[in-house]
Amino acid sequence: MTSHLGTDDGALSDSGPTEAPLGGTEDGRDRAAESAAAPLDPPAPKGAEAADVTDDHDDSSQDRLDRLAAPLSGPVAPEPEPPGPVAAPAAPHRPPAPSVTAPVVPPSPAPTAFVPGPLPPGYAPSGHGASELSDGAPHAGFAASAPAPLPASLSLADVAPRRRSQWAMIVIPLVLALLIALSTYLLVTARALERRNAEWEQVARSTGQDLAKARDDLAGALAELDGTRAQLDAAQTRITELADEKAQLGDDREVQQRLVDFQSKVSDAARNVTSALTSCVDGQNKLITYLQDSAMYDPVELTRFRTDVTRVCDSATDANKALQEVLTR
């Protein structure tokens, strides 16, 4: 679509009324209608009208429009010149194709949807350039109609850039603001994290010192624990030994006690034997004395006394034998 703006082909004039319906706004249609309906209008008002159309555009759109309109408005701007020297100004005002097509060609698929309509009368191409026009009327008509498709072409080409520019006016500041805010936030966060990192490092060093001290204390405590365990084992062993020694001493004590008791009983028995033997001897001595003067005593009493002495001596003899037997065991 925009390529039509950069050429001087006869199809240029065809695009005006054909593209008009493709315009996104009623203004585009109106301008196309105007351009089709007034091919003989003076070019100046058309140029002025085209300039008016772009008044409400922003600067960038105006610049772009100026660039686009420059090749077409070239022959229009020198309005005082008569249509006679049409061929003369046509050649020098031919716009360089790259300067126009390069910034305007949109990547949109609009050209594929372009459907050429019937050519209006007076717009049939007769050649490839304005210089090939046979008379002045068509030439004048071409000169007059050259600005005619300008509004239509400008509106068609301006719709998408205009929207893009509007979007750009909104999005770019927003993105810039967002990037600035993001950068600020990241900067603040990075500095805060840097400070926090320093604080944590300090804490880590302090904790590391505490840990090292705790490890030393733990190593000391474990060493003491090992020593204490060894002492405990030794103490347990010693306690067991002492308990056994005490038990053995208790056994010995009980044995000795039993021996003492036995010795005591033996001593008592020996004392009793000794006493019995003494009594025996005493009785026998008395019996001997009595028998020396037996006439002085009753024979019956002497016999009874002799029997008693014999019994005491027999008991003493038996006790002595028993004692001797016990002592010999």
Partner 1 sequence: MTRRGTTSLRAAGAALSVVLAAGCGVLPALPGPMPTDIVPSHAPIAEPTQTGNLSVDGFDAAQRMAVRIRNIGCSSLSTGSGFAIDESTLITNRHVVADSDDLQVSTYDGRDIAVTAASIAGLADLAVVRTAQPLPAAPVLAESDPAPGDPVTVVGYPLGGQLTVTSGQVIGTTTDPLNENLGEVLITDAPVEPGSSGSAALDSEGRVIGVVYAKNSTGMSFVVPVSTLRAMLADDTSFVESTSCATTS
Pick the piece of the chain touching partner 1 (CB under 8 A) from 49-57, 87-95, 244-252, 268-276. 244-252
Nearer to partner 1, 37 or 175 (CB): 175
Total residue count of the chain as it appears in this document: 329
Q: Is position 236 an interface residue for partner 1 (rule: CB under 8 A)?
A: yes
Q: Which of 201, 241, 268, 318 binds partner 1 (CB under 8 A)?
A: 241
Q: How far is the CB of 86 from partner 1 (least distance, A)?
A: 41
Q: Which of 91, 177, 232, 291 binds partner 1 (CB under 8 A)?
A: 232
Q: How far apart are CA 158 and CA 68, in angstroms?
A: 10
Q: Is position 250 an interface residue for partner 1 (rule: CB under 8 A)?
A: yes
Q: Is position 163 an interface residue for partner 1 (rule: CB under 8 A)?
A: yes
| Dihedral (Cα; 145, 151, 156, 157), 10-degree rounding | 100
Q: Which of 132, 217, 254, 282 binds partner 1 (CB under 8 A)?
A: 254
By rule CB under 8 A, what count of residues binds partner 1? 36
First-to-last CA distance in the chain?
149
Pick the piece of the chain touching partner 1 (CB under 8 A) from 28-36, 63-71, 241-249, 305-313. 241-249
Q: How far is the CB of 167 from partner 1 (least distance, A)?
A: 8
Q: How far is the CB of 268 from partner 1 (least distance, A)?
A: 17
Q: Is position 259 an interface residue for partner 1 (rule: CB under 8 A)?
A: no
Q: Is position 174 an interface residue for partner 1 (rule: CB under 8 A)?
A: yes
On the 0-12 / 13-18 / 19+ scale of CB atoms within 10 A, 2 is: buried
Q: How far is the CB of 29 from partner 1 (least distance, A)?
A: 16
Q: Is position 188 an interface residue for partner 1 (rule: CB under 8 A)?
A: yes
Q: Is position 185 an interface residue for partner 1 (rule: CB under 8 A)?
A: yes
Q: How far is the CB of 185 from partner 1 (least distance, A)?
A: 7
Q: Is position 108 an interface residue for partner 1 (rule: CB under 8 A)?
A: no
Q: Which of 87, 91, 124, 178 binds partner 1 (CB under 8 A)?
A: 178
Q: Which of 189, 264, 267, 278 binds partner 1 (CB under 8 A)?
A: 189
Q: How far apart are CA 230 and CA 151, in angstroms?
A: 109
Nearest residue to 31 (alpha-carbon basis) of 49, 56, 13: 49
Nearer to partner 1, 214 or 288 (CB): 214
Q: Kindly provide the b/e burial profile for residues 125-138, where b requires at least 16 CB atoms within 10 angstroms of the residue's own CB.
A: eeeeebeebeeeeb
Identity at 165, one-letter amino acid code: S
Identity at 253, one-letter amino acid code: R
The H-assigned helical ranges of 54-121 are: 59-73, 87-90, 97-104
Q: SS3 for 212-232, per residue?
A: HHHHHHHHHHHHHHHHHHHHH
The H-assigned helical ranges of the chain are: 10-19, 26-37, 43-53, 59-73, 87-90, 97-104, 136-145, 149-292, 299-328
Residues near partner 1 (CB under 8 A) are 163, 166-167, 170-171, 174, 178, 182, 185-186, 188-189, 192-193, 196, 199, 203, 207, 232-233, 235-236, 239-244, 246-248, 250-251, 254-255, 258
